[in-house]
Amino acid sequence: MNKYIFEVLRYGFWVEAVKAWAAKYAWYVHDHIAPLSRMKKAPGTRIHPTASMRCGENIEIGENSHINQYCCVWASPGSKIVLGANLLMGPGVKIFSSNHSKESAKAMNEQGWAEKGIVIGNDVWIGANSVVVAGVRIADGAVIAAGAVVTKDIPEYSIAAGVPAKVIGKRR
């Protein structure tokens, strides 16, 4: 018997392998399938299977918008994320509508949350590996350069880049 077939039969049905597979499947359902089923999606939206979502009931996405691979769109129970029509998100974009508090008397993993909604307009392009934090509004037509960290509102048809992101130009 081929040694690879033997390994699959020997380890593929091993109790630990089955437990690991079940845990990964459960995480995929938690991270993608369940939130995706609760999102408000307009026609023509495309969401890559590796995208990670939280609180799908608090996420809206406009028509013909694309959430690329390895993106995170994490709404929270007390805040919404609204993504406009014709939005393009490069790979690895992170959008978070909440953040941990910073009390010194508690461990970081025991902190409360600060929640603020995010609105991203129509015809916006967010470059690869950018981060959009809670409370930000990115207006229609804006372009966010790859790797930018958006901590303040971005006006319409502006091009923003940097950490923190600053307007560096206008779309023509």
- Which residues are identified as catalytic? 100
Residues 159/170, Cβ–Cβ less than 8 Å: yes
| 143 burial level (CB within 10 Å; 0-12, 13-18, 19+) | buried
Helix (H, G, I), strand (E, B) or coil at 97: coil
Instruction: Please report the DSSP string for 63-78 in residue order.
Output: TT-EE-TT-EEE-BTT
Helix (H, G, I), strand (E, B) or coil at 7: helix
